[in-house]
Structure 1
Amino acid sequence: MRGEMMNRRPTTLFALLILLAIAFFMANIGAGEYELSLWEVVQTLFGLGSGEHSFIVNTLRLPRALIAFLVGAGLAVSGAILQGITSNPLASPGVIGLNAGASLAAVLVIVALPAVPLGFLPPAAFAGALLAAILTYWLGWKEGSSMYRIILVGVGVSAIAQAFITIIMMSGKIMLVTQALIWMTGSVYGRGWEHFYALLPWMILFLPLAFLLSRQLNLLQLGDDVSKGLGSKIEWVRGGLILVSVALAAASVATAGTVYFVGLMAPHIARRLFGPSHTTLLPASALTGGLLVLASDFVGRTIAAPVELPCGLITAMIGAPYFIYLLLTENKKSGKM
């Protein structure tokens, strides 16, 4: 009997997460200066609403809600992969310089190359994040990849990227710099279908790829020697997983800016609910991350209405204390406190 309950638990939790995500999805579409009831939202989504409602829902709010969920899912899976390959619970897309590299490339496009079409922003951010990851991985290599060295080097790479971002901002035109600053706060404000269609191919390709590689990620948890003994080519596997993590983080950052701490918090929440196996953890992290950004966007839009707070600010307000808590917990576990 107890075994049956344990087997049903993941299914029940997945169902609850999906229901919560749907609830916040519908709440996001209904909330705003012109409020819509749940029934009006449902009617409009099924093509039965008025023309005014159709414009509000389908043009203004639906793409924003979809982007919020996809951005959260991408950042969360990226963070779960990094925590898995580094065996470090404090790892996230910002740790090995991914966010900073993607932000540098995106700010360069926004401020220095304003004529470049919007569709080039995700590939540019991917290139920046990939370059940061390669640099971090290469500098952290010493007769093999030490994850602790990679994390330390990643902090340095992030600092260098932030310095270049500051230089670009100081030398750019004020209107473009303002646009870049708004983007860097981490927000889905003003995001439309053009942003959604630029993000969608990256998520369609790399989220399923991450789920397919989950078994390899489980093998890495056994240690390098055991993984090699089981026939796993650990450096190739690690490199492939980092590439997937880079792509998900870069596409998310290019679309919504730096939404802080989602890549750290969502995998931890999912791990507490579903356990450490990555075959379950990665899909659970995707759902949790999407829910976190949807909920943060909803809170940001309603808590100080009509003023909108960026969802990145809300996640930072929650994530910073959570990060400190994790840091103190890990220090106690390692006997440093």
Structure 2
Amino acid sequence: MNQLLKPAAPEPATRPAPVGRPPATRIVAAFVLATAVLIVVAAVHLTQGTSSVGALDLLRLATGGDDETARVLVASRLPRLLTGLAIGIALGFAGAALQSIARNPLASPDTLAVNAGAHLAIVGVAAFGITLPVLPAGGLALGGGLVAAALVMALAAGGQASTTRLILAGSAIALALNSLTMLLLLLFEQGTIGLFAWGNGSLVQSDLHALTQLAPVIAVAVGALLLLGHRLDILALGDDTATVLGLDVRRTRLLVTLLAVLLSAVAVTLTGPVGFVGLCAPVIVRLLAPVFPGVHRHRILLPLSGIAGVIIVLGSDVLLRAVMGGQAGVDIPTGVVTTLLGAAILIWLARRHRDAGPTRRPPGGHAAVRSARFHRLVVGCGVALVVTALAVGMLLGDTWVLLGDIVNWVQGRTGTGYTFVLDQRWPRVAAAALAGVALAVAGTTVQAVCRNPLAEPGILGITAGAGVGAVALLTFLPAAGVWAVSGVAGIGAMLAFTLVYATAWRGGLSSDRLVLIGFGAWQGGMAVITFLIVAFDPYNTGKALTWLSGSTYGRTAGQVLPVAIALVVLTPAVLAARRELDLLALDDDTPRVLGVRLERTRLVALAAAALLTSTAVSAVGVIGFVGLVAPHAARALVGARHTRVLPVAALLGAVLVSLADTVGRTVIAPAQIPAGLVTAMIGTPYFVWLLWRSRAVATGPR
């Protein structure tokens, strides 16, 4: 952590504070304007709610009023307002502090997985029926957030911590932690009732008990950050300069990180994770620099970010209740609105982003060179593993069968019971294997085109689009068949990919920009999914969560067919372009020199990857990490040439998803763990090791 996110050159949005004293009148004007906006938003916020108490009733309360208005104000509206005020300040300060020590405009409690770690810690306790007082719960959230942030920061700190690397590290760790959280929500549904909506940031408060206990913690952390403001100004000049000026860089970073994570943990304890407030607030304040010079000074930046955070939180709550009605403020988490706002700002920032240069390496840059004989041996072993995985998948489950039973079933000589079991089981086994192949081939293609060894198909926004389509259909047409859900999910995936690709195009395709915009689309899509579930079908979250976790449950032969067709049509096309993929993985200039039409080749390759991913998602739901892990393992085995990588990656993908599905169907039978959650638990350690290895390479001699 002592080399926390040390970039080669600061991003413009986090440039050092200007030399000299800023104009006092301008700074005072900035605070007056921000405070005025805050007062207006807070006043409107107090007039909204599920009761009929309005602005005139509240005004009459100042001259006596009635007791009913006072009860509504004290019991409901003031707790909600003060909670929004507290978490807005906490997240605004935390986001500004994290962006400053990271020198990265996209650092925040969300992108550093702080919220995901804190959320998992609290859900983990609730799942086992343990009820903690407020302060111990806050301490638990702090521990979870610190572990997650430390892991992301350590993995993203290699050499030049590009924005893309930070996003990929944070999103992967957050995905793994969220997978564990979702697993607990599914397995302990009774003990975690209400925590799905709470997990997206809800301001609903029945009293001020929690706030009164945590407010002093927020005040102390905020005060400490303000006292460290001068140190942060010096740190912004660069580590070497700061050291020369006598600043203990390591201690300052560690202390600021601890305070930022503490503020984030307190916010999660109060309301659950309110998404992207910590990202948006400091960015908005820094954008005011041309009008209000001096806002980059941290003793000005931090409090203004806190005020901006409050405006974002309360303004989102006001907007939600103004559009959806007073009851929506109870049913729908405010964090859904803030996440949508944050996703939009993240995409806007990504549109301005430039490639990270040396931090982007060909995905096969460090792959071993293997002989053709070794390649054939690996392929043979891979085929044997696939056959074994398929056989094990047919044998195991809630009902175990023998090989002889399978032979009899093939020959049509089994009894009614075993025939029913195996007739239901083989489409699941086939769907898992084929989806694994599709995701692996898509992942190999995406990593080559993006020239980013940490990319995977879901980062193109495909997963989010498929999820929005499927959950929307399940919500509004609960009787829809599995085939209809798969088809709508596929359409949603392709629409999302088209939107991400078009947005990322800016006189050419920057692969870093594509990844960042895809991440923004993914976050926005997940917010829409949460909105659909809690607003229209809050009592059927299990069905949607199971699909979003990646499950083969209820799969039929008809659903396997689209994946098989996509593989038959698109895999030969990808293999035929193996030379172009080799060249695309190098740089932009080499393919052009050798006559490759770069942009058209990129579009075709990414479209093929999107189609393969969408068919896989439509068949088995959302399964992560396969498109990341399988290509890397294949390159480690057979080298970087795509003529060898593609078949080996496809075999490994089939093995990984098949085994994940079998384990999920067997270990807690008759209950089931969705295959996507199993792959996340398998893939996360590999991804952590991969990031650590690439960190070592980045920090080594060049």
What TM-score, normalized by structure 2, do the two folds share?
0.45
CA distance in 1, matches of 2:482, 2:671: 26
Match of 2:441 in 1: 77
CA distance in 2, matches of 1:155, 1:176: 27
The equivalent position to 2:532 in structure 1, one of 168, 182, 187, is 168
Deviates more, 1:140-149 or 1:238-247: 140-149
Could you give the per-residue CA deviations for residues 91-145 of structure 1, whole angstroms, max 9, x where no partner exists? 0012221211221122222222445554343443333222322332233233321
Match of 2:403 in 1: 38
The structure number with the bigger radius of gyration is: 2
Deviates more, 1:195-204 or 1:209-218: 195-204
CA distance in 1, matches of 2:450, 2:374: 28
The equivalent position to 1:323 in structure 2, one of 687, 696, 699, is 687
Could you give the per-residue CA deviations for residues 154-201 of structure 1, whole angstroms, max 9, x where no partner exists? 111111111111111112234654321211111112212232234332
1:305 Cα offset (Å): 3.2
Give the conservation status (yes or no) of the 8 Å contact 2:482–2:555: no
Cα distance 1:122–1:190, how it changes in 2: closer, same or farther (>3 A)? closer
2:407 counterpart of 1:53: no
Higher helix share: 1
2:385 counterpart of 1:20: yes
The equivalent position to 2:593 in structure 1, one of 229, 232, 248, is 229
Within 5 Å, which residues of 2 pair with 1:206-285? 206-285=570-649
CA distance in 2, matches of 1:116, 1:51: 29
Letter in 1 for 2:669: A
CA distance in 2, matches of 1:89, 1:222: 12
1:15 Cα offset (Å): 1.2
1:47 Cα offset (Å): 3.8
Alignment root-mean-square deviation, CA = 2.2
Letter in 2 for 1:324: V
2:506 counterpart of 1:180: no
What TM-score, normalized by structure 1, do the two folds share?
0.91
Which fold has the larger relative contact order, with Cα–Cα distance below 8 Å and residues 6 or more apart in sequence?
1
1:204 Cα offset (Å): 2.5
Runs of at least 5 residues in structure 1 that lack an aligned partner in the other structure? none
Could you give the per-residue CA deviations for residues 291-318 of structure 1, whole angstroms, max 9, x where no partner exists? 0011111222222333322211111111
Runs of at least 5 residues in structure 2 that lack an aligned partner in the other structure? 1-369
1:51 Cα offset (Å): 4.7
Give the conservation status (yes or no) of the 8 Å contact 2:397–2:662: no
CA distance in 1, matches of 2:554, 2:486: 17
Match of 2:462 in 1: 98
CA distance in 1, matches of 2:634, 2:464: 25
Match of 1:192 in 2: 556
Letter in 2 for 1:256: V
SS in 2 for 1:334: helix
CA distance in 2, matches of 1:222, 1:32: 45
Cα distance 1:260–1:175, how it changes in 2: closer, same or farther (>3 A)? same
Match of 1:121 in 2: 485
CA distance in 2, matches of 1:247, 1:101: 12
Cα distance 1:189–1:282, how it changes in 2: closer, same or farther (>3 A)? same
1:290 Cα offset (Å): 0.7
Within 5 Å, which residues of 2 pair with 1:291-306? 291-306=655-670
1:90 Cα offset (Å): 0.6
Give the conservation status (yes or no) of the 8 Å contact 1:202–1:247: yes
Percent sequence identity over aligned pairs: 34
1:75 Cα offset (Å): 1.0
1:222 Cα offset (Å): 3.5
The count of corresponding residues between Structure 1 and Structure 2 is: 332
CA distance in 1, matches of 2:420, 2:631: 36
Give the conservation status (yes or no) of the 8 Å contact 1:110–1:176: no
Cα distance 1:136–1:208, how it changes in 2: closer, same or farther (>3 A)? same
Letter in 1 for 2:429: A
CA distance in 2, matches of 1:15, 1:211: 19
CA distance in 1, matches of 2:539, 2:615: 24
Could you give the per-residue CA deviations for residues 264-312 of structure 1, whole angstroms, max 9, x where no partner exists? 1111111111211112211211111010011111222222333322211
SS in 2 for 1:103: helix
Give the conservation status (yes or no) of the 8 Å contact 1:26–1:41: no
Deviates more, 1:312-321 or 1:323-332: 323-332
1:322 Cα offset (Å): 2.0
Letter in 2 for 1:158: W
Letter in 1 for 2:410: L
CA distance in 1, matches of 2:532, 2:507: 36
1:252 Cα offset (Å): 1.0
CA distance in 1, matches of 2:587, 2:437: 27
SS in 2 for 1:326: helix
CA distance in 2, matches of 1:293, 1:226: 36
